[in-house]
Structure 1
Amino acid sequence: MVDPIRIAAEEVNCLIYAYLQDSGYTHAAFAIRMESKLDRSPLISKHIPRGELIDLLSKSLLYLEVESHWKGDALSVNCKTPFSLLEPHKCSLEHTSVSAMQPPSISIAPLPEPTPALALKTNGNVEASKRKSSPTVGSIEGPAEKRAKRDSDDMEIDSSSESSKAKPSSAEPEKPPIPVPDLSVTKKTAKPKGRIQGPGDDFTNPRVILLLPGHKSEVFVCAFNPKKHRLLATGSKDAVVNLWDLPDPPLVGFAEQPAAPKTLDYFSKDEQGDLTSLHWNSEGTLIAIGSYDSVLRICTSSGELYFQHPQHQGPIFTTRFSKSGRWLLTASLDGTSCLWDVKERRLHKQYRCHTDCCLDVVWLNETTFATCGADQLIYILRVDEDEPIKTLSGHENEINQIKCNPSGTRLASCSDDMTARVWNVDSLSKPADAIPGLVASESIVVLEGHTHSVSAIGWCPDRSLALHPLIATSSFDGTARLWNSVTGECLKVFDDHRRPVYALSFSPDGRWLSTGSGDGWLHIYNVSLQEKEWSWYAGHDRPGVFEIDWQVHQGINRIALALECQQVAVIDVSKIPALGGVAPIVPGRPRINPPR
């Protein structure tokens, strides 16, 4: 005898929770997770494919159709009444138009298009946006799908938040939400849809920004080659990596459009092919590529495939070469991190420390590295040991990103618990301290103040600040903050964005801090003055700025941006007057210098 079908309330709650996350309803998802106590349920670790609730409801309508039309008579065969989840079905030969019903065919509305991650990839930026699920090792059947980081129409900053209380000055660029065109006006009096793409001031020539239109979908990641300064790699949701040969900016005038990029198409072409990470080795000869199809790929600077391996059982969020380039680390949704021997082209070790997805990895030195995950823990490991030598605990939610200071003595982390933390890892070289499983609780600086998930974190590279190095954080609360990493003091809140801030990057000399957001704005701040100096708007149509990479090389100073509008922007900083650059003389236009 077949057991009766049983549906548990926990199963329904998990499906609704996944649907709310897919749709970008972050607060509603959090509420149902807390009120239904899903964190205590073993079902929260199950992988739920994107759109599963919609798929099940679609199948239920098909079952209702079979149940209603099984007789096969003239009425049921020729029935023109549509099926609805909210209305009882009554067969009729006349088309019924009911406002609550769907159109006369079973049509499931698509979910909002997801935005990366990475991250919370966001970063990233990954990520670019990173899926907020909790699979255990071995629980994923095939590559996992991506959760929506946010929907562009749902993530306006709450009017009660700190960032929304700031009043813009007349010198600041306008910060409109994505506008809805007024279709009721005549063509003669129709107003423009919104602010056009371009600089936020009147002093920067728009040609300072070079737009590269080589991708067919959102661009998630970008990375300049550290040695071959003309080479820029960009990765997109279209499962393509483009290698651009950028001409050097001329001393006079503006950079010319580069030739068509070299396209790397070694990737899956389905919805699992989103690219999450690009990282060059220090010699600039190899680039490691992370993807949602779970396959690690390493390519040469000329575009040939050097190595690939399907070891991971879930999306790869992060790829990181060691300084020498001998080792490569990867972090995955399957809960593991892998250490690869690059020269031997093989897996050296796979670490299964985390009980939830592994979100980021970072090198402390050539033989020691750290991993973080959704299990709220950071593990310190060595290449010659199988178990962690230290466990850092204290965060109360998923840890999105970790970064090490240049000297390898401090580790910074940021989390969905709305805090960032600075950990002392200077004592790892002491033999007495290298005890597997030791929990570190000393010398932790907690950075508190954000009112939403902290998406990205970075160390200021200015060497003059060695005694009190600065840290920057960005958040889904629409702000970025500058901190004293020793005292934990918040030095400045930058609240110019209107939507979640996905990316941040210091200039290589530490003079400038740049931030990119879902509102379409790139803002650049003077770190010492703690003031905004320049802005650029990506446009009102799919405006997100997902990743920032800053290059300085022998007089060349430029920024690459990965954009939601399917383009890559390359900004010649040396020709932006507000940032100390010299404005090119344009025929027919007098040189204008901004007020200082």
Structure 2
Amino acid sequence: MGAITSAELNFLVFRYLQESGFVHAAFTLGYEAGIHKGGIDGNIVPPGALITIVQKGLQYIELEANTDENDQEVEKDFALLEPLEIITKDVEELQQIVKKRKRGRLQIDCDKDKGKAKECIEEHEHRLGGERERERHDKEKDQEMERDRTERDKVQEKEKEREKQHTDHIDKVKHEEDPLASGGPKPMDVSTTSHEIFSADVTVLEGHSSEVFACAWSPAGSLLASGSGDSTARIWTIPDGPCGSIQSSPASVHVLKHFKGRTNEKSKDVTTLDWNACHPCQGEGTLLATGSYDGQARIWSRDGELKQTLFKHKGPIFSLKWNRKGDFLLSGSVDKTAIVWDTKTWECKQQFEFHSAPTLDVDWRNNNSFATCSTDNMIYVCKIGDPRPVKTFSGHQSEVNAIKWDPTGSLLASCSDDWTAKIWSVKQDKCVYDFKEHTKEIYTIRWSPTGPGTNNPNQQLLLASASFDSSIKLWEVEQGHLLYSLAGHRQPVYSVAFSPDGEYLASGSLDQSLHIWSVKEGRILKTFRGSGGIFEVCWNKEGSKIAACFSNNTVCVMDFRM
């Protein structure tokens, strides 16, 4: 009988044990251990190898018996041992190895669990962070959209309020017995007795097909410009002589179309206009600037020729002003910015992007600095060349509708929807005066052309404020007190203008009345009643004529003589 290899012998022993009922994994491991111990290279199994295999199988059974009977993972413990250890180690040594390695495995499992938990937490936090970031972004986006909607709504609301006035009727107003029956502010010893200006003494300029929002006399000559919701501006020639004796004709007006084609475009409504007071080459009153709802500023000659179109704003232009020297034009837009245009090249000199909401008004302080105001409640004083505001005024609690520098550029007046008018000085941060006597929104303000540094130095400097509470208030600014409360109107007052000598004040209201007041006495001297709400009034340079633009598509011109 020939020799057999160790592998063959081991297999015979393994099969014997299996057939004898020893089917525990320990014997399988013992068999495998025997292979490793004896080798698989065909060598003869060393003496005692079979006994060792059986012994280690029995040791495994003993090891299992000595293990906690409640341990449900006994089978897994065997995997902690190497086959060679099963053969070479006794039971106690095997138990110590299992316990030690089991603790190690538990620690590893614990570390893995902690790692997984940490990863889970980190993943959860990351996901929450992402969700919070998305929520924050969405919230900011919603807030921005809401602000934009609010800003658009405010602009549209004001425009709608203007547009609807031409449908109002004055029958009820004309027949009211008590001019103060509406509950408006009580006058301060003001007489409302006046002389009526009759239609026969008024020149009515017809031609616009929509409300006329703005009007301005040229500083030279007898030209009157008007801007309308019909997407046109017009330059009217007003002859000398008494009003009412002349009629407008095609030859006396230049139509400045802000659209291309035969029909008008609502998006090109003319919202503001201003004549140049001076020009380095052409002199004063030679150029008219118009601002439109389409965001473009246009420059016209006095005979109606389009000279330049200025593209850069991305929203309606609500304010447009030349500086005194005439070398710069300033514009303020719903796009939240103000732009200074170089009138030599008609290029953007500088764009100022400080406001967080639409810019409602701009006004030059001198030839190089100016102020802007916005629906964001803020006022900024800016200077050409400076990247940031040189002064910031905060104090209004609602949108600031208008700002005006006094004749010397020392004081800045502002008015707001918060029912207050304020006076500011660049020498201090807080307002100098805070006028709170109005009971509704204040739409506009005007300084008198009086006081030191003016053509009327012997008269005190005054500020007029016009409000939706139907009143006009005259403020004496040296001491900061109310001089007169003028209560002759019955509906919101949109416009006031001082005469060039500062002795008279004209006011126009949505009650369709134009009043001329004595500043010294605080009483109405003359009244003209039209057939539409009045959006703006203005005096010619000589103070001999007054123009008013109406919601019934007309412009009226009347003489003023005392």
Q: What is the TM-score of this pair, normalised by structure 1? A: 0.62
Mapped pair 1:405 → 2:400: no
| Higher-RCO chain (CA-CA 8 Å, sequence separation at least 6) | 1
User: Using a 3 Å threshold, how does the CA distance of structure 1 residues 378 and 280 change in structure 2: closer, same or farther?
Assistant: same
1:441 to partner: Cα distance? 2.2
- Counterparts of 1:412-451 in structure 2 under 5 Å? 412-425=413-426, 427=427, 440-442=428-430, 444-451=432-439
- Counterparts of 1:101-500 in structure 2 under 5 Å? 131=155, 146=159, 148-149=161-162, 151-152=164-165, 163=184, 172=193, 201=196, 204=197, 206-227=199-220, 229-249=221-241, 255-260=245-250, 261-267=253-259, 269-282=264-277, 283-425=284-426, 427=427, 440-442=428-430, 444-463=432-451, 468-500=460-492
CA–CA distance in 2 between the matches of 1:508 and 1:234?
A: 20
User: Using a 3 Å threshold, how does the CA distance of structure 1 residues 490 and 256 change in structure 2: closer, same or farther?
Assistant: same
CA contact (8 A) 1:551 1:557 kept: yes
- Counterparts of 1:41-80 in structure 2 under 5 Å? 41-47=143-149
Q: Deviation string for 1:527-574 (max 9, x for gaps)?
A: 0011111111002xxx20111110133xx7101111111111001113
Equivalent in 566, 570, 586 of residue 557 of structure 2: 570
SS in 2 for 1:508: coil
CA contact (8 A) 1:161 1:477 kept: no
CA–CA distance in 2 between the matches of 1:483 and 1:165?
A: 16
User: Using a 3 Å threshold, how does the CA distance of structure 1 residues 552 and 392 change in structure 2: closer, same or farther?
Assistant: same
- Counterparts of 1:4-19 in structure 2 under 5 Å? none
User: Using a 3 Å threshold, how does the CA distance of structure 1 residues 443 and 478 change in structure 2: closer, same or farther?
Assistant: closer
User: Using a 3 Å threshold, how does the CA distance of structure 1 residues 207 and 550 change in structure 2: closer, same or farther?
Assistant: same
User: Using a 3 Å threshold, how does the CA distance of structure 1 residues 416 and 352 change in structure 2: closer, same or farther?
Assistant: same
1:172 to partner: Cα distance? 4.2
Mapped pair 1:525 → 2:517: yes
CA–CA distance in 2 between the matches of 1:257 and 1:154?
A: 26
Quick one: which amino acid aligns to residue 277 of structure 1? T
Task: Tell me which residue corresponds to 1:502.
Answer: 494
User: Using a 3 Å threshold, how does the CA distance of structure 1 residues 465 and 498 change in structure 2: closer, same or farther?
Assistant: farther
User: Using a 3 Å threshold, how does the CA distance of structure 1 residues 398 and 442 change in structure 2: closer, same or farther?
Assistant: closer
Q: Deviation string for 1:261-304 (max 9, x for gaps)?
A: 11111337322122111101111111110111111111111111
Q: Deviation string for 1:103-123 (max 9, x for gaps)?
A: xxxxxxxxxxxxxxxxxxxxx
1:230 to partner: Cα distance? 1.5
1:255 to partner: Cα distance? 3.9
Quick one: which amino acid aligns to residue 448 of structure 2? C
User: Using a 3 Å threshold, how does the CA distance of structure 1 residues 387 and 523 change in structure 2: closer, same or farther?
Assistant: same
CA contact (8 A) 2:464 2:473 kept: yes
- Counterparts of 1:575-594 in structure 2 under 5 Å? 580=562
1:208 to partner: Cα distance? 2.1
Quick one: which amino acid aligns to residue 217 of structure 1? S
Task: Tell me which residue corresponds to 1:558.
Answer: 545
Q: State how many pairs are aligned.
A: 399
Quick one: which amino acid aligns to residue 558 of structure 1? K
CA contact (8 A) 1:163 1:477 kept: yes
User: Using a 3 Å threshold, how does the CA distance of structure 1 residues 367 and 259 change in structure 2: closer, same or farther?
Assistant: same
SS in 1 for 2:544: strand
Quick one: which amino acid aligns to residue 208 of structure 2? H
CA RMSD in angstroms, aligned pairs only: 3.1
CA contact (8 A) 1:524 1:534 kept: yes
User: Using a 3 Å threshold, how does the CA distance of structure 1 residues 169 and 495 change in structure 2: closer, same or farther?
Assistant: closer
Quick one: which amino acid aligns to residue 551 of structure 1? N
CA contact (8 A) 1:502 1:518 kept: yes
CA–CA distance in 2 between the matches of 1:381 and 1:407?
A: 17
> Which structure has the greater CA radius of gyration?
2
**Structure 1: stretches of 5+ with no match in the other structure:** 1-37, 52-129, 134-144, 174-199, 428-439, 575-579, 581-596
CA contact (8 A) 1:445 1:486 kept: no
Quick one: which amino acid aligns to residue 557 of structure 2? V
1:148 to partner: Cα distance? 3.5
CA–CA distance in 2 between the matches of 1:467 and 1:545?
A: 29
Q: Deviation string for 1:27-79 (max 9, x for gaps)?
A: xxxxxxxxxxx9x944431347989xxxxxxxxxxxxxxxxxxxxxxxxxxxx
User: Using a 3 Å threshold, how does the CA distance of structure 1 residues 237 and 306 change in structure 2: closer, same or farther?
Assistant: same
CA–CA distance in 2 between the matches of 1:246 and 1:398?
A: 37
Quick one: which amino acid aligns to residue 433 of structure 2? V
CA contact (8 A) 2:510 2:533 kept: yes
User: Using a 3 Å threshold, how does the CA distance of structure 1 residues 154 and 352 change in structure 2: closer, same or farther?
Assistant: farther
1:167 to partner: Cα distance? 13
Quick one: which amino acid aligns to residue 460 of structure 1? S
CA–CA distance in 2 between the matches of 1:402 and 1:41?
A: 28
CA–CA distance in 2 between the matches of 1:169 and 1:487?
A: 21
SS in 1 for 2:527: strand
CA–CA distance in 1 between the matches of 2:430 and 2:511?
A: 39
CA–CA distance in 1 between the matches of 2:384 and 2:183?
A: 44
Percentage identity across paired residues of the two chains: 35
CA contact (8 A) 1:131 1:148 kept: no
User: Using a 3 Å threshold, how does the CA distance of structure 1 residues 154 and 417 change in structure 2: closer, same or farther?
Assistant: farther
